[in-house]
């Protein structure tokens, strides 16, 4: 029974990390999209690249939120999502 409690706490921690990382990715993606869409004159020639990048970041955040909802049912998938979330947080935000 103690092993199940420890696993439940670990999955709960995974869920919180997934939700927090998803919030950050959703925010970064939406900021990128709205910043590029509200510019009156594009200053660089790669506006489309920024739009696609913002959309991909936003979709990744949405996927992590969805994964956090089913983390208790699929603990191995949640663990893989946590590895991806940690790597992205370290790469994009310096470990915040």
- Render pLDDT for 8-39 as a digit per residue (tens, 0 to 9): 555 567 788 888 888 988 998 999 888 877 77
Calculate the CA 63 to chain-centre distance: 7
Rounded to the nearest integer, the mean pLDDT of the chain is 79
Look at the block and give the residue holding tokens 């946590």: 82
Residue 14 has a pLDDT of: 76
Question: Is 44 a domain residue?
Answer: yes
Structural domain that includes position 35:
16-93
**Could you tell me if 78 and 15 are in contact, meaning their C-beta atoms sit under 8 angstroms apart?**
yes
- Is 53 buried (19+), middle (13-18) or exposed (0-12) by CB count in 10 A? middle
Residue 92 has a pLDDT of: 75
pTM: 0.73
**Domain total for the chain?**
1
CA distance 39 to 44: 11
Q: Show Cβ contacts of residue 48 under 8 Å, excluding neighbours closer than 6 positions.
A: none
């Amino acid at each position: 029974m103690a092993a199940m409690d420890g696993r439940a706490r670990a999955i709960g921690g995974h869920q919180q990390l997934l939700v927090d990382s998803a919030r950050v990715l959703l925010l970064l993606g939406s900021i990128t999209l709205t910043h590029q869409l509200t510019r009156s004159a594009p200053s660089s020639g790669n506006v489309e690249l920024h739009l696609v990048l913002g959309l991909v970041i936003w979709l990744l955040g949405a996927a992590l939120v969805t994964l956090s909802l089913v983390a208790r049912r699929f603990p191995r998938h949640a663990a893989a999502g946590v590895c991806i979330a940690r790597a992205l947080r370290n790469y994009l935000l310096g470990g915040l």
